[in-house]
Chain A
Amino acid sequence: MLVALPGCGRNEERWQRSAFAKPATSRTAVLAAEGYGQGLDEAVRRGVELFDLPLRGRRVVLKPNFVEFDPDGVINTHPAVVAAAIETFRSLDADVVVAEGPGHRRDNEYLLTATGIGDVLRDTGTPFVDLNNDAVRRVSLRSSYTGMKALYLPETVMSADLFVSLPKMKTHHWAGVTLSMKNLFGIVPGSIYGWPKNLLHWAGIRESILDINAALPMRRFNIVDGIVGMEGNGPIQGEPVPSGVLVFGEDPVAVDATAARLMDIDPHKVSYLEEAGRFLGNLETERIVAIGEDPDRHRRDYRVLPRFTGIKANSRATAG
């Protein structure tokens, strides 16, 4: 948070080449969802079923983003999206767990109650794991952007057959945007590394996003809640932007690139996305196959803070 200096040696490979096989192309689906009421369950199910995910009997960990609560804000993944995801994956015979390690607050009872996600868990009988306090295992990092050799990461995440990132579509006052990849800050246990996930801010936000995402070896899926997104001073104090859209896909880089473009932000100008596109997934439009609706129909002009005007699609600036 205090100083997120850009990494040096940008052209140097900082990942284990043998550990990553970037697909030739990645599929993403953008689907309209006008609100959080009727039709949402169907939209989420349709989005998931567009992908050939092995789910029967598999352990699926849903990781929404609920970092903080403001009754007047749109900080968190909407509980209706979490409920729709639970319903969808269960209906496809998966064993579903919801897990999150809030980045600002230690009081999960409060956050779960205030955000409404607790009601969803209770109504659906879904177990919840506090990733800030879960059992951990030491995970050797497969990339070296932060300079850390290993991180302690939650067993619930590391033992998942499918890890589903369920972020809110938001601008971010340190990183530019926060989507599927940045959402993974929530898997880093606060009981060890502190709040607001302090170690990661020291190690560099860009660098930490890359190292954490590169550390997860399991199959991934991503559903971005862009029904109402956040612009301006995100991820906490920005303003809501009704966008009426959900973004689906297995490749978190491609999903986040697609979501960024929906926000009228050039993913090549978001430093961590540009770097992730070198080894973690696909960033270029020609390598992303849109299998849902026409993304251009859903594009909105998300306002960014002045220091991030360079990441807007129409800016002449390069990666920030």
Chain B
Amino acid sequence: MQLPAPVMNPARSRLPGLQNADGGWGVLPEGPSATEPTALAAMALRDAEDPVAARSGARGLDWLEERQRSDGAWPASDQVPMGSWMTSLAVLALADSRRDRARAVKGAGWLLDQEGRPVSLVTRLFFFIFPRYNVIDLDLELKGWPWYENTFGWVEPTACALIALKKLRGQLPEPSARSRIEEGERLILDRVCEGGGWNYGNSRVYDEELWPYPDTTALALLALQDRPDLPTVRSSLDVLDRLVARNQSLLATSLAILCARVYGRPVEAYSRRIVERLETAPPWIDVRALALAALALREDPAPLALDHA
């Protein structure tokens, strides 16, 4: 979808100035480079016509390529060397680039081997015998993907992994890819809040409903973009609109645009809001939000769209 002429991409032009000397970006300006903001910035700068922006994006991809571990994963940063949930974003950045996809496929292979740690059988048996002690309303057997190795699976890392795996589906081994994707979708659907939308991954605690967040809802919907007819997806798209009306942050609005693009919903009002928001941005706007804004304002189909693979 073409943006109307008045909506430019001021977020993209800011990214090169925030790039670290090593070619990566930190979430916080002047902070150490990290995989998440670098992957998002590289996606936002891909195919930039401005040579400064194009060179900046290429250096970002170099940073990512240099940091891929031998097992295919990416660390969160140079300071934290173990494989990270951010691998999903690096996979997407490299899959979206014009470079050799082998690195992205290897990263996706690492993702296939990662899974959340379900609650133990003993605990599940305990909850079965004494249900009053189970105060959360989750399917405790689902694995999905965790934020951190050997811990429970949650909505955002699962959504990011699903987008990456679906993007590279044709190059991944079957039936494991299908099995992981289907199980990940089940986790996302299990965690939906009453009425639609998602928070970090708990819909109810102690019989009290928890409320959805726009950023998490948008990510979950991006992960389910090839399942548009699911009732949960339809209701959650409406919930997202309501949430973003109340939360006008750069992060929420940018993810809402990315989501609206893949579902063919209008983005113009959100896009104008981003531009206005950038003009009065408070100092704590971080590079991750700025890169997402730049990505959301790209005039070509979103890199997170599966039909763009």
- Contact yes or no, A133 B147, CB < 8 A: no
**Interface majority SS (helix, strand, loop, mixed), chain B:** loop
Interface size class of A (residues with CB under 8 A): 35 or more
* B221 touches A (CB below 8 Å): no
Question: In the complex, which residue of chain B has the Cβ closest to the Cβ of A202?
Answer: B151
- Contact yes or no, A195 B156, CB < 8 A: yes
Q: Contacts A109-B249, A113-B249 given; 6 further ones with Cβ under 8 A?
A: A108-B286, A129-B28, A133-B27, A173-B205, A198-B147, A233-B206
- Contact yes or no, A112 B288, CB < 8 A: no
Question: In the complex, which residue of chain B has the Cβ closest to the Cβ of A119?
Answer: B282
Question: In the complex, which residue of chain A has the Cβ closest to the Cβ of B150?
Answer: A202
Evaluate whether A198 and B28 lie within 8 angstroms (CB atoms) in the complex, with A2-B136, A133-B288, A233-B206 already known: no
The 9 closest A-B pairs by CB, nearest first: A194-B147, A133-B27, A109-B249, A110-B249, A107-B251, A202-B151, A195-B200, A237-B208, A198-B151
Show 12 A/B contacts (Cβ-Cβ < 8 Å), sorted by A: A106-B215, A114-B247, A121-B284, A135-B32, A191-B86, A194-B154, A195-B200, A196-B202, A198-B148, A198-B152, A201-B152, A237-B206
- Contact yes or no, B36 A191, CB < 8 A: yes
Q: Which residues of A contact B148 (CB under 8 A)?
A: 192-194, 198-199
In the complex, A195 Cα to B86 Cα: how many Å?
14
In the complex, A137 Cα to B76 Cα: how many Å?
13
Among B36, B123, B282, contact of A109 (Cβ-Cβ < 8 Å): B282
In the complex, A201 Cα to B136 Cα: how many Å?
14
Count the B residues whose beta carbon is within 8 Å of the partner chain — how many?
53
In the complex, A264 Cα to B120 Cα: how many Å?
36
- Contact yes or no, B80 A152, CB < 8 A: yes
Evaluate whether A134 and B28 lie within 8 angstroms (CB atoms) in the complex, with A191-B34, A233-B206 already known: yes
Evaluate whether A108 and B32 lie within 8 angstroms (CB atoms) in the complex, with A199-B151, A202-B152 already known: no
* A305 touches B (CB below 8 Å): yes
Evaluate whether A191 and B27 lie within 8 angstroms (CB atoms) in the complex, with A112-B284, A133-B286, A198-B146 already known: yes
* B213 touches A (CB below 8 Å): yes
Contact with A along B113-149 (1 / 0, CB 8 A): 0000101100100000000000110001000001110
Q: Which of A195-226 contact B (CB under 8 A)?
A: 195-196, 198-199, 201-202
Among B31, B250, B282, contact of A134 (Cβ-Cβ < 8 Å): B31
* A45 touches B (CB below 8 Å): no
Give, as a whole number of angstroms, the nearest-CB distance from A234 to chain B: 11
Q: Which of A1-33 contact B (CB under 8 A)?
A: 1-3
In the complex, A133 Cα to B40 Cα: how many Å?
15
- Contact yes or no, B205 A135, CB < 8 A: no
In the complex, A109 Cα to B151 Cα: how many Å?
28
Give, as a whole number of angstroms, the nearest-CB distance from A211 to chain B: 16
In the complex, A174 Cα to B70 Cα: how many Å?
40
- Contact yes or no, A107 B247, CB < 8 A: yes
Q: Which residues of A contact B147 (CB under 8 A)?
A: 190, 193-195, 198-199
